[in-house]
Chains A and B, each alone.
Chain A
Amino acid sequence: MQNVLADLRAERGLSQAALADALGVSRQTVISIERGRFDPSLPLAFRIAGHFGLRIEDVFRPDPE
């Protein structure tokens, strides 16, 4: 799954650690999601999207086939 988490975080001037704290997850989790190495659970995806005031599909999208 692809995502624009790094772009959203950069737009708001947030560090990975600050975003991790805000989401209640580890910094490594944010790093792994941004690099596309870890697909978050649905509850966590909702929390991420909600944190930026967006819908899940605005943050995450499936890999092109």
Chain B
Amino acid sequence: MALSPSARRWVAPVLISLPLTAALATFVAWRRPDQPFWLVVAVFTVVLLPTVATGLKVLVTDRATTDREIAAHQHDVETSWVKEAGSTAFFVLIGGLIFAETLGDVLRLSWLSPVGLPHVLVLGLGTFAVTYWYERRSAS
């Protein structure tokens, strides 16, 4: 059975971290003579393995990940504009909808309280577009 590329990146970190974790668990078990030895080894290995493997994966594959991210243009200024615009649109959308609904309730304006999908789309997309345009203009 062939492993997917993302699964293959986990093989080396897991294989390296397994003996490391087992050795650490053995040391812990040795320091706890009152506890069942193999139970302590098994529990500590299972609990520590994900953390150690993840840490090793970051260390082992970090450079490759960075290269892939740069190749995928994830470090371009345009990506930062999209992130900024998306973040702003999200918060304006949440805040704007809460504000509209609250204002509609307080002022008893029936047309303001119910917010429909068109309002959400206009507010969200409008905010995204304006923020993206502003970011682009500021950086150019």
A residues in contact (CB < 8 Å) with B: 23-26, 28-29, 31-33, 35, 37-38, 40-41, 43-44, 46-47
A selection of 9 A-B contacts at a CB cut-off of 8 Å is A25-B73, A25-B76, A26-B73, A28-B140, A29-B78, A37-B77, A43-B75, A44-B70, A46-B66
Residues of B within 8 A of A43 (CB): 66, 69-70, 75
> What 15 additional pairs, Cβ within 8 angstroms, besides A25-B77, A26-B77, A41-B75?
A24-B70, A24-B71, A25-B70, A25-B73, A26-B73, A26-B76, A26-B78, A28-B76, A28-B140, A32-B77, A37-B77, A38-B139, A43-B75, A44-B70, A46-B66
Query: A28–B76 Cα gap in the complex (Å)?
Result: 8
A40 CB → nearest B CB, Å: 7
A-B contact count (CB 8 A): 46
Which residues of B does A touch, CB under 8 Å?
Answer: 66, 69-71, 73, 75-78, 80, 138-140
